[in-house]
Structure 1
């Protein structure tokens, strides 16, 4: 194992209405109706070929406004300390985020999305198509999150988000 590190660079930027972390839903499941877009940098636009056939995408991104890394955190859905790797908190040793968003349409090098739980101007590292054939797992265990009732999760998951009116 090497400790030399890795170098990644953004392939685009994620744009959304979210500019304040505490007003941003914590997961795409709580961000329905929160539309945004990916502005892919022109040198990477050719890589969008055939993507329009997918309904959902994984976006991998850099948590550019994350707090310093912590190994123990209190997740948004509970007031109990948990190990960082048992949560999706952004203050990770490597500030890499992952969201599954709905692809609405593609216009040139711009992807229009729904279910965006990502802050505006977030650097995009990669895009991968979600496919039920490979990614869907019917029976799962969800750790401590199974202790959180859905009503509480819905309330806490949207945090202080208030929909903006056009």
Structure 2
């Protein structure tokens, strides 16, 4: 198979999945992504105001759910729900500040302490820099 190791952890005021907004962009909840110091060089160029995509693992999600309980007849692969066989989630966020290996972000929907797998610039930003 393959191995995936978190690159960091997200810290948010969200303590349970019930408290999390359905989409981070619907709320202005702020948090901090703490990146492992081994990856600090990979943060070069990320600045306040940037839009990034946070790839994270919903380690507390229900991995047995295949059909959405709130929407009968709709499977989890037809949703953005973190409850799914492999709860890898993406959340677009706005960077509010960068300080060393800590990135302040707005638009979070992750539970406090969730592992961060990757950060990506938005496709729009990548196309503008090409």
TM-score, normalising length: structure 1: 0.71
- Contact 2:98–2:104 (Cα < 8 Å) also in 1: yes
Task: Tell me the residue number matched to 1:129.
Answer: 121
Deviation string 1:35-73 (CA, Å, 9 cap, x unpaired) is 101000100111001122762110001111111232211
Larger Rg: 1
1:21 partnered with 2:21: no
Gaps of 5+ in 2: none
1:131-146 superposed matches below 5 A: 131-132=123-124
Deviation string 1:87-110 (CA, Å, 9 cap, x unpaired) is 111121211011000101100000
- Contact 2:63–2:86 (Cα < 8 Å) also in 1: no
| RMSD (Å) for aligned C-alpha atoms | 1.7
Task: Tell me the residue number matched to 1:63.
Answer: 58
Q: Partners in 1 of 2:63 and 2:125 — Cα distance?
A: 37
TM-score, normalising length: structure 2: 0.89
Gaps of 5+ in 1: 136-166
- Contact 2:7–2:39 (Cα < 8 Å) also in 1: yes
Q: Partners in 1 of 2:91 and 2:62 — Cα distance?
A: 19
1:107 partnered with 2:99: yes
1:37 partnered with 2:29: no
Counterpart of 1:12 (choices 1, 8, 12) is 8
Q: Partners in 2 of 1:98 and 1:64 — Cα distance?
A: 14
